[in-house]
Amino acid sequence: MSAYADFPTSDRCLVLGAGGFIGTNLCLALRARGVPVTGFGRSARPAVLDDIDWVRGSLDATPWDRRLERLVGGHAHVFDLIGAGLPNSSNDNPAQIVADAVPAKVRLLEACRVAGVRRYLFASSGGTVYGVTGTQPVAEDTPTEPISAYGIGKLVVEKYLSLYRHLYGLESRTLRIANAYGPFQESRNGQGLVAALLRRLLADQPVEIWGDGRIVRDYIHIDDVVDAMLACLVHEGPGRVFNVGSGTGRSVAEVIADAARVTGRSPRLIRREPRGADVPVNILDSSRLMREAQWAPRTSWEAGLASTAEWIARSG
């Protein structure tokens, strides 16, 4: 049971991107705490969320009219989990993310301001906003030099949140999330390494890796990410931007070895060329969130990997 089991809000929350990996887990956690939730997503409501309110749609396709305000209206809190493509493919057309996705987000902020939303919670990307940094783990005040347009897009939304806080008092919290893993994670296009690995191992399929397996990431269980989101919903300290990571780095090679051990399968590797948008090492220092919100990761890597493998084996 979560540290936030006695979660003190009965205000309605809007979860944007509710059908995705983080969104599904967050909606389940809010529902379990009796918080009224509206989910918004591109697809039909997932079966597992069949008892929450659902609005099907796409931010990109929403024109600059009153529809956004109507979507947002009546919600005290908005969780923005809407991504915009993938880090690597974002560099193929680097202007697109600022031309399309960011203005859509700014219009959303404008709607939140008009609708009187009390707090906007933004899922940023701890793995891309910093870029290639000298020291690890990285704290929130480390200079941000993304090496993907995707990372720039996330950073720009952070800056607009700061602007809207300053100009209009729209409260927000940014969560720079590390590599989350756990139930409901998709595994497409080389993203979601843990889910992809476990699925392929359990299906006796070969595993693709980009580069030499030495890329280091910070893997954090989705339950801990959801805990961080709930913590940020009620947080009252000075911070507005928070890293959410385990603080431990693991190489792709280590993750493969651990996944092989947990599943009892031997991996067959297909090696691909390294990708330009992959930083060599990314480990997050989340001590700000620990200090200001009494958050702490509570799922160990070993237990999280094992339970995720079980979940995948069970759910197919």
Taking contact as CB under 8 A, which single stretch among the options 17-25, 96-104, 228-236, 308-316 is the one that binds its own copies?
Answer: 96-104
Active-site residue, 150 included: yes
Q: Strand ranges (DSSP E) for 58-191?
A: 77-80, 119-125, 171-177, 179-181
Q: By CB under 8 A, is residue 156 in contact with its own copies?
A: yes
User: Which stretch of DSSP H or E encloses residue 296?
Assistant: none
Binding mask 106-135 for its own copies (x = CB under 8 A): xx--x--------------------xx---
- Report CA-CA distances (Å) from 226 to 154, 161, 223: 19, 21, 5
Nearest distance from residue 234's CB to its own copies, in Å? 24
Sequence-ordered list of residues with C-beta below 8 angstroms from that of 188, at least 6 positions apart, any chain = none
Which one of residues 36, 73, 74, 94 is an interface residue with its own copies (CB under 8 A)? 94
Instruction: Considering the complex, state which of residue 162 and residue 187 has its C-beta at the smaller distance from its own copies.
Output: 162
Sheet holding 37-41, edge to edge: 53-56, 37-41, 13-16, 77-80, 119-125, 171-177, 241-244
| Dist CA 151 CA 153 (whole Å) | 5
Q: Strand, coil or helix: what is 205?
A: coil
Nearest distance from residue 84's CB to its own copies, in Å? 13
Nearest distance from residue 76's CB to its own copies, in Å? 23
Instruction: Considering the complex, state which of residue 48 and residue 139 has its C-beta at the smaller distance from its own copies.
Output: 139
**Residues 213 and 267 sit within 8 Å (Cβ to Cβ):** no
Q: By CB under 8 A, is residue 85 in contact with its own copies?
A: no
Backbone angles phi, psi at 175, to 5 degrees: -110, 115
Q: By CB under 8 A, is residue 141 in contact with its own copies?
A: yes
| Dist CA 182 CA 107 (whole Å) | 32
Instruction: Considering the complex, state which of residue 90 and residue 246 has its C-beta at the smaller distance from its own copies.
Output: 90
Which one of residues 5, 43, 66, 103 is an interface residue with its own copies (CB under 8 A)? 103
| Residue 309 structure tokens | 């493998």
Which one of residues 44, 50, 166, 236 is an interface residue with its own copies (CB under 8 A)? 166
Taking contact as CB under 8 A, which single stretch among the options 51-59, 92-100, 192-200, 251-259 is the one that binds its own copies?
Answer: 92-100
Q: Strand, coil or helix: what is 119?
A: strand
**So which residues are the catalytic ones?**
150
Binding site for its own copies (CB under 8 A): 91, 94-96, 98-99, 102-103, 106-107, 110, 131-132, 141, 143-149, 152, 155-156, 159-160, 162-163, 166-167, 276
